[in-house]
Structures are given as C-alpha cells and as structure tokens.
Amino acid sequence: MNRSRHYIRLTALPACSLAALVATARPVWSVMPISYSGTVSGQTVTFTGQRDIASVTGSVTVAGATVSVTGTLAVNGSVSGTVALPNGTRIGTFSAQPSSSGNLTVTYSVDGTSGTLTAPVPTGLLPQ
C-alpha cells in the first residue's frame, strides 16, 4: 500500500503557502490581562492576572489578604485550579463557571472553608 498519498509534501508547497499554513496554526490571541474589583458577599475583592489560550494566573485580594490562583481554562470560559499563599504553599482549590447572565459562579475550598459565591465575569476572561 502506498502511504505517501496521505501526507502533504511540504517541499512541493510554495514558500508563501507554507507561511500561511504556519500563520493559521497560531492561537487567535495569546496573553490577555484580566481584572476585577468589587464587592462580593460584603467583602472587597480585587483580582489581577492574565490568561492565555489554556490557563489563568493571578492574585486575589480579599479584605487585605492576598493569595495566588492558577487554573486551567476551558473553551467555555470555566476555570478550575489551585489557591496558594504568596510563598507557594497550596491552601485550596476552586472552580468557576460563567453564566449567560454575565456572572461567574465560583465554588472554593480554601484553608478548611468551603463555599460558593457569584461575581461579575472578570474583564478579559472570555474572548471578545
């Protein structure tokens, strides 16, 4: 059986076609900033960070205490990941799901406390 017919011969492509093929393999966007500042469940909350095609990283400050978050980003904008102290010690996990109403429902378990909260979707989390 001749298997060569199943493969593209890159040497037969013109240079401009090869460049177009490589250009289309890149993600639509790379690193994007994310931010949120507001009141959630009576507490002042700020989040600053960034996202790329598959992950979210940043810092969350609640009532003056700052933690780091790192998560995996799904195509629909949901995120799941870990919460850590500034020194890197892992203290919990979280998952967040955006809704059609423009809110983000966050379920967390941090330092022995679990709960769910709702906040607006941070600017930059979802692609435009």
Burial of 56 (0-12, 13-18, 19+ CB in 10 A): buried
pLDDT tens track, the chain, 128 positions: 444 444 444 444 444 444 444 444 444 457 888 888 888 778 888 889 998 888 999 999 888 889 999 999 888 888 999 999 989 999 999 999 988 888 888 898 988 988 888 888 777 776 65
Please report the pLDDT score of residue 20 as a whole number.
44
Return the pLDDT at 81. Answer: 94
Contact 115, 126 (CB under 8 A): no
pLDDT at 99 (0 to 100):
84
Identify the pLDDT of residue 29. 53
CB–CB of 43/61 below 8 Å?
no
**pLDDT value, residue 35:** 86
pLDDT for the residue numbered 64: 86
pTM above 0.85, yes or no: no
